[in-house]
Amino acid sequence: MKITVIQGPNLNMLGLREQNIYGPMKLEDIHTQMENYAKQSNVEVEFFQSNLEGEIIDKIQECLGESQGIIINPAAYTHTSIAIRDAIKAVQIPTIEVHISNIYAREEFRQKSLIAPVCAGQISGFGPFSYHLAMVSMVQILSEIKAMQEAQKQQEPKQ
- Residues marked active site are found at 22, 99
Residues contacting residue 91 through CB under 8 Å, at least 6 positions apart? 60, 61, 63, 64, 70
Residues contacting residue 68 through CB under 8 Å, at least 6 positions apart? 1, 2, 3, 93, 94, 142, 145
Q: What share of the chain is helix, strand, coil (3-state, %, to 5)?
A: 50, 15, 30
Angle at 40 between CA 140 and CA 19, to 5 degrees: 85
Question: In sequence order, what E strands does the chain have?
Answer: 2-7, 44-49, 69-73, 95-99, 121-124
Instruction: Give the H/E segment covering residue 35.
Output: helix 27-40
